[in-house]
């Protein structure tokens, strides 16, 4: 319960080719030899960052979800990453950039990307999410986010731990880890790395950013630069611009030491975000 092993899968993606992506990722995940409890894939890992919702969207019992169930069960770990999802419950189709948190037993939670990337016309094709998902693994609380959400610190901010809310003890932060899955272009790599470190510092948590590499069908280049940052913003493990998989173990002792020595969160403002 004091440690959590995570694997970051930084990879190129086949443009709008689910079969090839899922086959490639299955091989990569099966090839992880270290003990791992959470495997993190990039944003839209089965398609690339595509606006082709009509041709690529799936319901929550579609082939990509079935693949995630199978891989989580075979690897006996949590698998997470975002997919193009369609809401089958409404007469008018709604599409979501949906991050799925798949457990080994087939149960899952999901988070719909809140901040849609208008610069890339994402807002014209997808519906924004309305609520955060803070998942758990081995007693760790994990805030799950997608790419562009990284630029919006108020949405990500820890609540003031001195303000007890229902089901939450005083002096207990909301979460321990922030995870971002991304297709973040190389042209803005400096912002990617800087903002990941900033979110770690201001929220006194581990931050994990998993980005893709390669070039997509729109000619955008991705530099990878996935990383894990500690609660003081220090980069614990940077990845290069190449395809790479790393597994590392996070320790609660590091978090508790920083939060105990520097109880900055208790001085934060208390606020609520209206959806």
What amino acid positions are annotated as catalytic residues?
Answer: 43, 113, 147
Strand bridging mode 244-251 / 134-137 = unpaired
d(C-alpha 151, C-alpha 116), whole Å: 11
DSSP H or E run through 155 = helix 153-156
User: Are 151 and 115 within 8 A, CB to CB?
Assistant: yes
Burial 167-187 (b: 16+ CB within 10 A, else e): eeeeeebbbbbbbbbbbbbbe
d(C-alpha 23, C-alpha 216), whole Å: 18
User: Are 210 and 219 within 8 A, CB to CB?
Assistant: no
d(C-alpha 44, C-alpha 202), whole Å: 28
């Amino acid at each position: 319960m004091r440690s959590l092993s995570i694997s970051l899968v930084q990879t190129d993606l086949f443009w709008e080719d689910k079969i090839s992506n899922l086959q490639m990722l299955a091989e990569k995940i099966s090839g992880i030899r270290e003990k791992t409890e959470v495997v993190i894939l990039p944003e839209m890992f089965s398609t690339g960052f595509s606006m082709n919702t009509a041709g690529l969207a799936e319901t929550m019992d579609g082939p990509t979800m079935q693949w995630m169930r199978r891989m989580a069960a075979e690897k006996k770990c949590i698998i997470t990453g975002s997919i193009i999802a369609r809401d089958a419950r409404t007469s008018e189709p709604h599409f979501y950039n949906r991050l799925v948190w798949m457990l080994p037993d087939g149960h899952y939670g999901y988070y719909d990307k809140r901040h849609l990337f208008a610069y890339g016309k994402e807002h014209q094709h997808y519906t924004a999410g309305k609520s955060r998902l803070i998942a758990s693994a081995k007693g760790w609380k994990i805030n799950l986010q997608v790419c562009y959400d990284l630029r919006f610190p108020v949405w990500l901010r820890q609540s003031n731990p001195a303000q007890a809310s229902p089901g939450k003890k005083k002096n207990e932060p909301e979460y321990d880890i922030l995870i971002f899955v991304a297709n973040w272009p190389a042209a803005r790599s400096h912002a990617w790395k800087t903002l990941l470190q900033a979110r770690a510092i201001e929220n006194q948590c581990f931050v994990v950013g998993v980005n893709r590499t390669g070039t997509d069908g729109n000619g955008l280049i991705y530099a990878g630069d996935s990383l894990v940052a500690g609660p003081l913003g220090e980069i614990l493990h940077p990845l290069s611009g190449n395809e790479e998989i790393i597994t590392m173990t996070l320790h609660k002792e590091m978090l508790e030491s920083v939060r105990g020595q520097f109880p900055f969160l208790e001085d934060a403002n208390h606020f609520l975000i209206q959806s």
